[in-house]
Amino acid sequence: MADIASADNDIALERNPHGRLVLRLPGGALHEGITPVRAFPIAAPGESVSLVASDGHEIAWIPRLDAIPAAVRTLIEEELTAREFIPVITRLCSVSSFSTPSTWQVETDRGAASLVLKGEEDIRRLAGRTHLLITASGGVQFRVPDTAALDRASLKLLERFL
């Protein structure tokens, strides 16, 4: 496995005509269909990124995104943005029921959304008591970075599930 942040490496990353990432390692080995994967997408998004081949094996490791060339970093960040869809809940408008399953109408940083909460266990606390990760029944994850930043009505609805 290559460390892509090493200053003495000869690693190149580019898109092929089909839009897939191609990684060239020292010695000329090519790996097509590379997928970047963050080890800690919420806690440390700029650190610990793995480049994984289409067969699922890790090909390269990036300790810090800010330590790699800007062109390579841009390609990786574009790919990660396309893969990681985690809207941020800014307001809870309504809930269908205070027992689960419950349908929530929410406003996010990406617009209005509806989600079905299957159970209270689908609400996880991250990095302290006010940062939440909510997994909807369809698998989409929503973040609440700071419950204290929500308006009073939203907080009142949310607290019924915590």
Q: What is the pLDDT of residues 27-69, one digit of tens each?
A: 888 999 999 999 988 788 889 999 999 899 999 999 999 989 8
Contact by Cβ (8 Å): 96, 102? yes
Whole-angstrom distance, CA of residue 159 vs CA of residue 142: 16
Mean pLDDT of all residues belonging to the chain? 89
DSSP H helical ranges for 68-113: 70-83
pLDDT at position 87 is 94
Token digits of residue 136: 């909807």
* DSSP structure class, residue 66: G
Contact by Cβ (8 Å): 24, 12? yes
**Percent over 90 (pLDDT), the chain:** 64
- What are the tens digits of pLDDT across the range 122-148? 999 987 788 999 999 988 899 999 999
pLDDT at position 81 is 83
Report whether pLDDT(157) > 80.
Answer: yes
Instruction: Report if pTM > 0.85.
Output: no
pLDDT at position 7 is 46
Exposure of 17 by Cβ count < 10 A (0-12 exposed, 13-18 middle, 19+ buried)? Answer: exposed
Q: Give the architecture (CATH level 2) of 2-83.
A: Roll (2.30)
Please state the domain extents for the chain. Answer: 2-83, 89-159
- The more confidently predicted of residues 20 and 92 is 92
Whole-angstrom distance, CA of residue 35 vs CA of residue 50: 8
